[in-house]
Amino acid sequence: MNSDPGPQRWPLERYRDYLCLLARLQLGPRLRCEFDSSDLAQQTLLKAQVSFDQFRGGSDAELKGWLRQILANTLKNALRKLQQRGDMEQSLDAAVEESSTRLEQWLVDEAQPSPESRLTHEDLLFRVAEVLAELPEEQRLVVELRYLHGKGVPEISQLLGRSTASVAGLLRRGLKVLRARLAEEA
């Protein structure tokens, strides 16, 4: 009998939506043009799969923390490579700096909450990531911009080149689905 937890015990693919959401949260709008959150999540999962023997945890929360750290390192490396490119413009430099600062703050914030509140926050974020991944792209984007990035409806409408009524409708439909799905799982 094999006592090694191995990749079979922790199906890493189920964390893809969670990692994509975390990557989108760390990248500002400008950097989302440079990086695809799905690619960053895939790189993270590949690194985790290759180095799974280094994982020392035994719980889902510990695995999520380990994956977040790998994602943070993947993001740092991607930002470093982007900064090293010679053809970058100044506004892109500022976006990289802002995202790096946000990433550092995220890592600091991740270390501070109590284990109980941390677990509840992680579980909720994991479920939200799964449901957001099921939404149509525009609804997902509007919900994330509003509630995860704190943008107002007028600002979102400017960013997306849509009317405020259109953005409000996307937001309303996205939230309706999000709330219904989360209520089903509760």
Q: For residue range 125-156, what is the model confidence (pLDDT) as tens digits?
A: 788 888 888 999 999 989 888 887 788 999 99
How many residues comprise the chain?
Answer: 186
Q: What is the distance between the alpha carbons of residues 186 and 172, in angstroms, rounded to a whole number?
A: 21
Band of residue 7 on the pLDDT scale cut at 50, 70, 90:
very low
Band of residue 6 on the pLDDT scale cut at 50, 70, 90:
very low
pLDDT at residue 79, as a whole number: 78
Query: What is the token pair recorded at 60?
Result: 């889902």
Band of residue 10 on the pLDDT scale cut at 50, 70, 90:
low
Q: What is the distance between the alpha carbons of residues 18 and 33, in angstroms, rounded to a whole number?
A: 20
In this prediction, what percent of the chain has a pLDDT beyond 90?
Answer: 23
Select, from the ranges 79-88, 89-98, 177-186, the one with the highest average predicted confidence (pLDDT).
177-186
Sign of CA dihedral 15, 171, 100, 79: positive
Tell me which residue of 138, 131, 129 sits closest to 169, measured CA to CA. Answer: 138
Going along the chain from its start, the domains and CATH numbers come out as 1-114 (no CATH), 135-186 (1.10.10.10)
Tell me which residue of 14, 63, 68, 8 sits closest to 40, measured CA to CA. Answer: 68
Phi/psi at 143 (5° precision)? -65, -45
- pLDDT, mean over the chain: 77
pLDDT at residue 97, as a whole number: 52
Let me know: does 141 contact 156? Beta carbons within 8 Å: no
Give yes or no for residue 43 having a pLDDT over 60.
Answer: yes
The answer for residues whose C-beta is within 8 angstroms of residue 106's C-beta and 6 or more apart is 25, 26, 72
pLDDT at residue 27, as a whole number: 77
